[in-house]
Amino acid sequence: MTKLDQAEDRFIRFPELRRITSLSRTTTWRKEREGSFVSRCKLSSGLVGWKLSEVLAWMENRERA
């Protein structure tokens, strides 16, 4: 994946997060609690998302590990 231009950065919902990372909802939740994954952002009441740039940076760091 390529680096994002700031203008292209956006919030993604869980279905897209899962396609990118292959992590289940439970694993995502657990890793967030451990501090080893990107924190979700509350977008509105009952709606959360993740910043695509942060998820891609996490993926890039995981590939180096």
Q: How far is CA 41 from each of CA 2, 5, 52, rounded to the nearest angstrom?
A: 23, 20, 11
Q: What is the pLDDT of residue 8?
A: 82
- Residue 6 has a pLDDT of 67
What is the spatial distance between Cα 1 and Cα 45, in angstroms, rounded to a whole number? 31
Per domain, the residue ranges of the chain are 12-64
Run of H or E residues at 4: none
Per-residue pLDDT at 2: 57
- In order along its 65 residues, the chain shows pLDDT tens digits of 456 666 689 999 999 999 999 999 999 999 999 999 999 999 999 999 999 999 999 999 986 65
Q: Angle at Cα 35 formed by Cα 1 and Cα 41, nearest 5°?
A: 70
* Whole-number pLDDT of residue 25: 97
